[in-house]
Structures are given as C-alpha cells and as structure tokens.
Structure 1
C-alpha cells in the first residue's frame, strides 16, 4: 500500500485519541502499541474483505491446514513489512520521538506452539498468503499455551503464560461462525425412514466453539488469508443450569494449555478432547462454508483440501465421514470416496512415542459416534485388503489393534497423500517406518522438504545482514529469494566479506547485551557463539553438546594457559512438564553454566548460557548472532529440522549429523562448508539389526570420555548429585539409547576443526557467505508451492 509519513502521523494521532482519548504527551508505550496495532488492522481491512469476497465469488478451491500448534511470533513488524510501510511507520514514529522496536516489545508472543511443528505451520501460513495461494490455518486459541519457563536453582519450573491478559489486537471474534461440538453420552443407530440408519444421541455434553480469526498478510501483494483459532464456551442454553466450579473448569481446560500432561488418564482424556474439539469445529465451519456456495456435495474435494499436520488432527477422517453420512445422508461408499480425495497427511516423526495411539475405551466413551465410524473404516479396510495382500500385512496396518486406535494408520488410510518433511525422512518412511503402508499405497507417498519464512528470519530478524545484501546484490532477493544466490559471486570480494563480518559482530553484540540483561553474565563478541536452540529431547542430544563443554572445562582446569578460541555455548529449550529425563539434562546444563561462568581461572575462555523461556522473539535475536548451528540429533531421528535452515540463512555454519534436512543442506552448500560427524543412518540401523552396541566399551576405551562422565558423579560438577547419577546410569547401565558415547570422539574432532577454521576469519566468512547464498531451496515459499501443486491442487490468486 502507498502511505506517506505525514498521513501516517495524522492517522496514528487520530487513532490514539479515538481509542484512548489521550494526547501523545499523556500516553504510555502500551497505548502507543495498541493504537499502532489498531491502525495497522485498519490499513489491511479492505484487502482482507476483498480477499474473502473474491474467494467466495469465484468459488476458489481453498486449503485448510489443521495443526495443534502455531507459533507465529509477534505480528506488528511482520504486518508492517508485508504491507510495505515498515520504513514509513518507523520514520513517522521517530518524528514523534517514539521507537518502533520499543513499541513492538509490548506485543506478547502468541503462546500457541512449542517448537518446530508450530513454527513450520506459521511459516506455511506466511508463504500461502505471500504466494497468493488460498490457504487457512485451523487450530486452538490456547489461553496459556505451553508454559512460561523459569529456572529456579537450575531446575525448569512451569508457570502459566498469560499472553491474552491484555487481549490480542490482531484477532477478530466471529460470533456468527460459532458451532457446537458434542462429547460422550450414548449413540444409537435408528432407521431413517428410507432404508438407512441415522444416529440418535442421548446425554451428550454440548460445548460451543467460538472462532477467532487472525489475518495472515501476504508480502506486498494485497492478499490476506486467515488463521482460525477455536475457543471453548458453555452454550447459552446451559448457562442457566447450575455448574460447579469444577465442571466449569473442566470445560475451560479444553482450550487452556497446549499438550496437557498425558502421564495420567485424565490428562490423556483432556488431550483427546482437545484434538476432537478443534477438528470438529474446523470441519463444521468448512462444511458450513461449502454449503453456502450452493454446490452439490460431490464437488466438495474440488473446492476443499484439508491437511492433517502430524497425527493430532487425524480425527479429521472420521469427523468428515460423520458430516457426510449424518448431515448429507450420503452412502458409505460415496462419503469415503470424498473423504479420501479431500484429506492429506504429513508425518513429522519416526519416533513411535509420537505416533499417537488412544485406548479403545477412551475413544468409545468420549466420542461414541466417531468410534463407530472408525470401527467401520477398520472393518472395511480389513475386508478389502486381506484378499489382496494377505492377513499379515493387513494386521500390521489396521487402525484398531491391541486394544488401541492407531492415529497415524487412520490418517494414512483415510487420505490420498502422505508426505515426509525431508528427503531422508521420506525415504525412511517408505523403507522402514511405514514400509507396510508403502506396499499398500505407493502412489500416496511423497516428499516435501520443510522450509522457513525467509522474510521474518532475514528482513525482520537481521536488518544488518539484509542491508549488506541490499548493497551487494540489490533488493530483488527480498521479493524473490532465488536471487540471494547472486551473493556467491562475491566470495572473493574482501569488502563484502568485511561487511558480512561486521554485520555478524553487530548481531553478537546485540545478543551479548540481552544475555547480560537476562543472566548478568558478560560474553565477548570475539568468542565463537555456538548455538543449540530446539525442543529439549534426548534424541536431539543436547547431552552430547554438554559432554563436550565439560571436556573443554576439564582441559582448561588442567592447563589454564591452554591456547583456545573463547567459546560461548548458547542453549534455548523447553522440556515437556512430564519428561523427567529432559528436565534432568536442563538442570545439568544450568549447573555446568553456573560452574564455568563464575570460574575466573578460565580467563573468560568458556561461557555457557541457557536462556529461559525460549520463543520466537528470543530466536530472532539468537539466530542472527550464531556462528555455529548445532544440529546433532542421532542420524535417523530428526525428521527435518527448521532451526538448521534459519541459522544457515543467517550465516551460521552447521555442525551436523547426516540427519533430516542436514543432508540437503550439505548438498546445497558443499561438504567443505559444513561440519559433519557421527554415525550415518545405515550405521545406526546396523546396530539395531545386530544388537551389538555396547556403551560401556566406549567408556573403557577412551580416558577422556571416562573423565568427562565421571565428572557427573564425583563432585566436579556441584549440585547434581541425583541428576548426575541419572545421566551416568542412562549412558552406561542403560546402554545409551541415542549413541551419545559412540559419536562423542567424532563430535569432539569436528569441534576442533571449527576452532581451527574460526581463526582464519576470511575463510570462515567465505563459508558463511556460501551458506547464506545457498538457502533459497529452504524457503517455505518453495515448499508450499509444492504442496499446492502436488497435493492440494490450489491455484494462486496473484
């Protein structure tokens, strides 16, 4: 949009007066932020209305992305950038003695996700709008999200993240789009008068689902999509009934927190209730919209594509069947054909623990009609496939087995597409994890390597680097990320290399200031900033990183004059509240940090920083400052990764196993511009097949490793008497599930190579340049265009 600075200042002043009845002199930064948000909404309101009306008028096919998580981060600066008025607004505020960055700090991070799954979903929302594709998000409007992480005596403590306390300036409550969702009770199938059966419900709990729509602004293209998030309420007709505090809380809990603690039956039941709530609400909303078009129900798949992001929304399969059978009165065969054509599924993991399974009694009691439909899907699958492929393959792939409902099986059988999120991951799905399904449906399997919204992770997060790119290769890369490859031509240009180095140093100084403010620890921008930011899980091997840090500490204690490039190891991660082992690792990292950060004999050569409550805003400061990107999961365990892509875009060099998208990063940047170590996938599976891995052998064979592990139990690291023994036992007596000890020596060698290379700053910056210039293939625009063309069959509105 076109906007002069003069008009913005007038609009902003008027909005402040109208909203708060305050003058500039009497207003606080919060009131300035709210006014700016309200004004930004006004600037895109017409485009949002036009986009919505155009879709309905043209009856365009739309994609609906169902995800239990979204992690959009703050939207103020992103919306200003996408509207093309970022610089104008910043300049106008400056004329008013206001600072855009300072006002943006008043916006809370939306607590709608945890890690890569939610951030990917938000990157996809950004790319759908920016590529002009008609696509919408569907999820839950959590009141508290995951949790706000605090460290108390080194331990993770979970506090409520009350991000909605002051409201959300971007969302719009759509009262007229509310639907009702039913739970429990009994369902009887009775004759419908025409030879068929219809369900009769008794004693159901009926809840009201209210949608809150958040616009997703396309990048400078006047196209606005939306993310629809559902909140639960008690229907008005129930309000007159007496409800105890406990009954009311049970309702509110459905949209209170992300990932309720599932270590108890009550927690698991709540999580299942959550999943059905947003699936049913979303599908009813889509069904109502389609009905308003006046088209025959047979056209449903030609106008609607519904995507199941991981197994959490797998109930889309029986819920869509319920609508088509019970509302539209279709035959089973016709409803099933439409369902399979409409739905598609992304698998995000090979870990069995993450492939959701629900006890039959739980599904049957909470969702009786849904369970009837799942039973019928399973029975028909068995009847159809057994004559074709035999009972063994069918038994391995059926939905209901061993007393549980297998959600991944349901999603695969009930959809026309199953994709992995990196080439290696997709190959593992076909050849190992879902091999039996691949034998049944080879045509359904495909790969869609993940990507990132480069606009947020370059233009917003790293203006210093963006300016260097503008001055070196022009500004076309901002609109067309493919043009970032032009930077490769400047690999030998010393002026460009100096500018890139200066931008990195600026970002390290900025992060250093934040670290000082949050932890009181002073770090040097001359040190190597070594970053591992991701969910805390044993397979991601933060523990391997920690073992290396302990090795460096012991080396320095043994020889205080040891020549060593100073290191700052930076962690950001949350552990699930019920994941005790991950929380044990957090405690150990924090105690090692406390040990080394206050040891003056180390002469500042080693610092460890664990920044609490890792979120998108924190990532936007950490990632541009990183020198080293830790992507060290055991090969075969990380589906893709996206922090690897963000860090690569910002010039960090990747230290990695050949896991997930690291394989494709290596192919993009060249093996000479990445640091690889550790077991490969065939080697890992070789150990599994032979069953001959023995962690104790590596402990006894390596005196350095012995010294490091012993530090966890001999008092060298204080305040971890219990936790240190847990770590020691898990690695030795429980045989090191993720082969940390097997990869330790290789990891240490790769870290030594990093230290050696970092001392040649010109060469290091050349490698950094190569990473930046090679990232176009990891743009979520590229990923989403592949989804649109190959799976959803939706077309751009541009």
Structure 2
C-alpha cells in the first residue's frame, strides 16, 4: 500500500473521500490528519492480528505491564519511522501540497501521563515491540489527563487537557470485551460443599470498556497492544440516584491523579487503581482460558509487572479470582499469585509510598480488604516465627498498621521480584529504605537501570544529528545503540566537531523560535542554553536553580563589568494541583523572569524562560537544543531520572549531584565530561539519620545566600506582598530539608566552571561527543532485555518475515 509515493497518493485520496465524504479540494487539514492516521492503523492491522495469533499459537510466556501512566507523546511520525515509510509518505504528501509537520501539529499529546513514570512506560512499550517480545500494556483512558498549564500573572492555572476533543485516531473500542468491576457492598460468607465461600453482594458495578492502541515496533512485524480502560455506567446499576451514579462512574476515568487532599479524592484514586487491575486481570484471564484448560500453571505463562505501587491491588485481585471464582485453596492461589507478579519501585520518598486509610479502603473494596487482612495475618505469623518477640520489626514490616494499608509492603510481600531503577537507588532500597524487607527476601531485590527510547529521542527529535551519526558509523546503532561508542573515534576530527556544533546551533535557533512564539522574548542562540525540565517538586530543587539566577543578577547589578557568560535559563514543569509549595516556586521563577528579562542593564547576559505546559512534543524541541542539563536533585532522592539520559544522547552536558542515574552517567563519561557538585547520598542520609545540619549557619556565613534569601521577603519583587514567605520559611524556620543552602556554594562554583568550559568551543564539543557516544547504554532496549532475561523470563517471538 505504501511502496511508492504515487501509490501512497492514490490510496490517500481514495481513503480521504471514503472517510470524510468529500473531495480533496474541499478537505481540511484535520481531514488529512484523520485520513493518514486511519491509513497507518489499517496498514498495521494485519500484523497486529497476526502478532496476537502468533502469541496464542506458540503458547510462550507473555508479560503484561500495568501502569497508571503512559506518557506517549505524538504517535504519527513515530509510527511512520518505525514502519520505515516516513520518506515515502512525506514525499507523497508534499506533492499533494500537504506538510507532514503540519499534520503532526494536528495531533494532541495523549493525556495519559505526567512525568518520568509515564514516559518510562511508553519507552518500555516501544522497546518490547521493537525486540519482538510478547508483551502488552494496560492503563486508563483518561478523558482529560492531568491538566493543561497556563500562567496568569506568574501563577499556575490548571485547565482541562482536552486531548480527546477530536477523538483518538489510534484507538479501537472493544465494547464486546467489556468487564464489570464492583465497589462498595458487603461480603457474604457461607459454607458450600464443606468449603467456605465468599460472595461480594449489593455491589455497585462499573463497566470497564477497553480501547486498544497498536504498539508498533521498529522495523519489525511485531505489533503489541496498549489496552486502556474507560469507566462507563453498567446497564442495571444498584443505585438509588441514577444521575449521581452516572456522574461518579464517569469521574473514575476523567482525570489523571485527582486531588486526594480530601476523602472524595482519595476514594476516586482508589477506584481508578482497582478499576485498572480488576479489568486488566479479568481480561488476561479470559484470554488465557481460551488457550489453557485451567489456571494451575498460570504463573508459568504469564508475568504481570506493576509499575510502582499504583497497580499493587493486582495481588489481592488475582487472589480473589483464584479463590472465589476458581475455587482454589489459599496456599495454591498464593503460590500462583506471588510467582506471577513483579514490582518496580520508583521512589525513596516516604510520601510517595502509598498508604490508604482503612476507613476508606474497607467499605469501598470489602472483599479485597479481607484478602489483604489475611495476607497480613499470615505474613505477620511468619515474621513472629522468624523473629520471635521482635514486635518493633513486625510492626515496621506489617502490611496493615496504624489504621493504614501500606501498598509498598503489599507489593514486596506479594511479588517474586522487586527492582530499583538505578544502581544507587537499588542500593538505598536494600541498605536503608527497605532494609528489613531485604534482610527477609534478599533474593527478590535486583536493579534494572532505566532507559529511554533512543530512536524517538534521536531519530524523531533530532534528525540532523541522527543523519550525521549514521554518516559516520552506519545504521547499526538504530537497533544496537551501544554502537554509538564508535563515535569516540571522531573526537579529534575537527570537521565532525564543527558539524556537531552547527547542528546544535540550528536546534537552538528552532527552540528560540518556539520561545519567541510562546513567551514573546528573543533569546541569543550563542548563549548557553541551560535547561531544567521535569516535574516541579521540592527535592528536584528548581529552587536552587532560581536562587543561583538571582545571585547572578545581583552580581551584574553590583558590577556590570563582571565576567558572566551569557545564558538562557529554560524551565518547564507542572506542579500537582494540590502542591502549594511547588506552586510558590513556579510563581518565584516567573517573578525572577519578569525582573531579569525587563532590566535593560542585564541586556542579553541572562534570560529566564518558563515554557508553559511542558509535554513530550515540547520536550522533543527542548532536548536537542540544550547545552546544559540541570539534574540537581538532593542526592539520594531521585530514583533514576530519564531526562538526564535524553539530554545526554542529544549532546548536552550534565550539571548534577551524584544522584540516581547521574552516578552511572558519571561512571561512563568520566570526571571531565560531567559537572558534579554538592553533598553525596551518603552525606545526605547521614544528616537525616544523625542531624547536624543547621541552614541558619549557611545563611549567616555566606553573604550571597543571605542576600538572595532575604530578597524573597524584602520587597525585591514589586507588587508581591508576602508571596514567598513559605519558601523563606522552608529554608530557615524548617531547616531546609533538601539542603538547598548547603549545596549553594558548590553549585555556584560549578556553574562558573561551566561558563569557562563553554568558551573553549572545541573542548566543549569533545565533551558533548563523549556524552553522545556513551549514551547507548541508557537505551530502553538494554533495560528491557534485562527485564526479559532477569525477571519476566520471556523470549523474542519471530514467527514471520
């Protein structure tokens, strides 16, 4: 169908008429996008069907990846690249007077995720399909996603993210495969055939309807599935108020991460999590029983992987089905469940290790609570036998304690594998955060350092750099990214370094156009583009970055002749709607931007840009243009980071703490090709354990710190009364729990080194090249191979050409 541009054009025009009911001359750009999207989906449908048939016929083990988020980005061009038909389609469209770039602009970023967790899941799906592995994703079809971010007077304002306004051309609704998910009600217990039977009665059910999206592998006929669940009212609900029931049902899949400040939001989040796991497991079991006679060997053919704690209810749900519906005894059901489910931990932050109040959990999910209670009782009994009279240890490890259900504890106890996502993160889990669990289950713990979809972040996001790389080392790096190391042969090739510099300059110019269009500020593309784009959180320390910018501003005001290399500081970040402190930091960054950008004395020496509504499609413009990658989290707090890898593969140099995967970047590129500063994770953890840090001392003994901290409350920002007192208090009255002031001097020093290094253009380009050449290790292809071999025990299936 797409073998030549003429054939493509003929098919495109015919499909346009059939789909839109109008001729080409009457058609709109939206019609062109919808037609092309439908053509691509039809183009892959034969392989999509054949992939699923192949998995069924070969009876090989499959993995099902459960994630509350999938940050997919735009799929149009990525699918064309993966199918190997981008050039044919682009040429055919061009002859019809249609721009593929403009069609891509018609596509909305799928509102299915927020940050690194969701982007990782998307990268993993890409790699699973590209490696011909039998694996699928399960998630939720959020109507509005998180939110669309706008700035009004420097404040974040959240608008509904209307990504489904024009539908989703990639999805197929499968109403015939809908399942029922029960909430509320009671559990009836009675004896039947000398066996205790449990029935969930008077439940309020929601119908979960699947929407399937094809996951197209790179240059392979493997097409896996991402199944997203939509909550819809059941035909005959047990509810007195039908309209209320309809509203509450549709709310379940309306927004990603509803605000859980109050009980209503907590209930909604818990409903989302149970809908995801119950619908997904029912779907998996229905498919499984079409092939196998019973579930006794389920764990040998299926692995369910839970991406963080959000889907951990998969453990009691699988137990419920095996016991209540399949009639298994507890021990057999537990053996199957605990050998089916594997768990990735993504955080060391206590507040991110989910805990649910029993008062909310038990009435909403009565049977699931009973099963968790039984899991906890048996687990605590085993602990008592292993550690007799050690009440404190048993209390620390219990799944239910202090009127809460601890989801991370349930995940560790009910899974056969627990992995961290970077070497440092895994060691912190083993030695500190989950040390008592590690002592109990050392065989479960392992590391799988995160990776990124290198084809998206180079081939799609940075095509000119991709062409240059291919010109020098051939095509092998597309599918074997470790081949990028061959670029090290060119670190003394002046022509190559010059071309690398030219490509970076062009990418900066393109981003400068985006900045001007969005913010109305012209930036100097010869400046250092210094970028921090990620979720807004106190531990990620956007505050340290902006306090440093305030310090540079003060230096220039005090001494206009001071030697500061011109910089454009670029931020992109959303703060969770209920995260008051993070919103204050957003306002601070925007207040500094207003002051700096409007001061004629500063001119082009510093510019501060905060890009609204940071998302994957914007990231694809930002990463290729960055000179400096800000990875400045408090050491020990960032599990891995993946933005650091995307910057690295696009040639930006990292300024960072030795935290998360920064440690492994440092090991690969060496001291000279990364800018490290600040406390080590050991020092941070020592402070947390033994105390000794007094932020007030740094405030009084470093005049630069005192100046910028005082400016938060001194009237330095006009028309902003007491706005930044919470930030001021966090640094002094609350003793600066993320060590911003402790690391400030070290950060200022390393930033000066960056300025000196950037002026030595040749040296800088060599550093950039060394980063690109070593970035192949951080491909999600490598990560997925490690999961497939080490955890999931699945093999590539290649049953056709």
- TM interval, shorter chain, is over 0.9
Q: Residue by residue, what CA displacement relative to the aligned partner does 1:244-271 show, whole Å, maximum 9, x if unpaired?
A: 5433211111000011101101111111
Matches within 5 A, 1:401-416: 401-416=401-416
Q: CA deviation at 1:162?
A: 1.2
Matching residue of 1:514: 514
Matching residue of 2:342: 344
The question of whether the paired residues in 2 share the 8 Å contact of 1:37 and 1:170 is answered with yes
Distance (Å, rounded) in 1 between the aligned partners of 2:597 and 2:246:
48
Matching residue of 1:201: 200
Matching residue of 1:795: 795
Matching residue of 1:298: 296
SS of match in other structure, 1:509 = helix
Matches within 5 A, 1:672-751: 672-751=672-751
Matching residue of 2:124: 124
Distance (Å, rounded) in 2 between the aligned partners of 1:231 and 1:719:
46
- Give 4+ residue runs of structure 1 displaced > 4 Å after superposition: 241-244
Distance (Å, rounded) in 2 between the aligned partners of 1:274 and 1:146:
14
The question of whether the paired residues in 2 share the 8 Å contact of 1:143 and 1:256 is answered with yes
Matching residue of 2:754: 754
Matching residue of 1:641: 641
Point out the more displaced range, 279-288 or 289-298: 289-298
The question of whether the paired residues in 1 share the 8 Å contact of 2:68 and 2:273 is answered with yes
The question of whether the paired residues in 2 share the 8 Å contact of 1:587 and 1:720 is answered with no
Matching residue of 1:557: 557
Distance (Å, rounded) in 2 between the aligned partners of 1:609 and 1:20:
42
Matching residue of 2:32: 32
Matching residue of 2:596: 596
Distance (Å, rounded) in 2 between the aligned partners of 1:42 and 1:250:
35
Count of matched residue pairs: 796
Q: CA deviation at 1:5?
A: 1.2
Q: CA deviation at 1:243?
A: 4.2
The question of whether the paired residues in 1 share the 8 Å contact of 2:233 and 2:245 is answered with no
Q: CA deviation at 1:722?
A: 2.4
Distance (Å, rounded) in 2 between the aligned partners of 1:725 and 1:299:
60
The question of whether the paired residues in 2 share the 8 Å contact of 1:71 and 1:122 is answered with yes
Distance (Å, rounded) in 1 between the aligned partners of 2:294 and 2:206:
29
The question of whether the paired residues in 1 share the 8 Å contact of 2:179 and 2:208 is answered with yes
Distance (Å, rounded) in 2 between the aligned partners of 1:261 and 1:689:
32
Matching residue of 2:287: 289
Q: Residue 625 in 1 paired to residue 625 in 2?
A: yes
The question of whether the paired residues in 2 share the 8 Å contact of 1:77 and 1:86 is answered with yes
Distance (Å, rounded) in 2 between the aligned partners of 1:228 and 1:212:
6
Distance (Å, rounded) in 2 between the aligned partners of 1:415 and 1:200:
26
Q: CA deviation at 1:784?
A: 0.6
Distance (Å, rounded) in 2 between the aligned partners of 1:726 and 1:362:
31
Matching residue of 2:433: 433
Distance (Å, rounded) in 2 between the aligned partners of 1:86 and 1:22:
26
SS of match in other structure, 1:602 = coil
Matching residue of 2:395: 395
Query: What 5-or-longer segments of structure 1 have no aligned partner?
Result: none
Matching residue of 1:223: 222
The question of whether the paired residues in 1 share the 8 Å contact of 2:2 and 2:8 is answered with no
**TM-score (norm. length: structure 1):** 0.99
Query: What 5-or-longer segments of structure 2 have no aligned partner?
Result: none
Q: 1:152 to 1:669 in 2, by over 3 A?
A: same
Matching residue of 1:323: 321
Q: CA deviation at 1:776?
A: 1.2
Matching residue of 2:250: 252
Q: Residue by residue, what CA displacement relative to the aligned partner does 1:323-348 show, whole Å, maximum 9, x if unpaired?
A: 10011110000000000100000000
Q: CA deviation at 1:444?
A: 0.3
SS of match in other structure, 1:207 = strand
SS of match in other structure, 1:601 = coil
SS of match in other structure, 1:349 = coil
SS of match in other structure, 1:614 = coil
The question of whether the paired residues in 1 share the 8 Å contact of 2:259 and 2:577 is answered with yes
SS of match in other structure, 2:712 = coil
Matches within 5 A, 1:426-575: 426-575=426-575
Point out the more displaced range, 608-617 or 378-387: 378-387
The question of whether the paired residues in 1 share the 8 Å contact of 2:199 and 2:324 is answered with no
SS of match in other structure, 2:623 = helix
Point out the more displaced range, 85-94 or 714-723: 714-723
Q: Please provide the CA RMSD for this pair.
A: 1.2
Matching residue of 1:165: 165
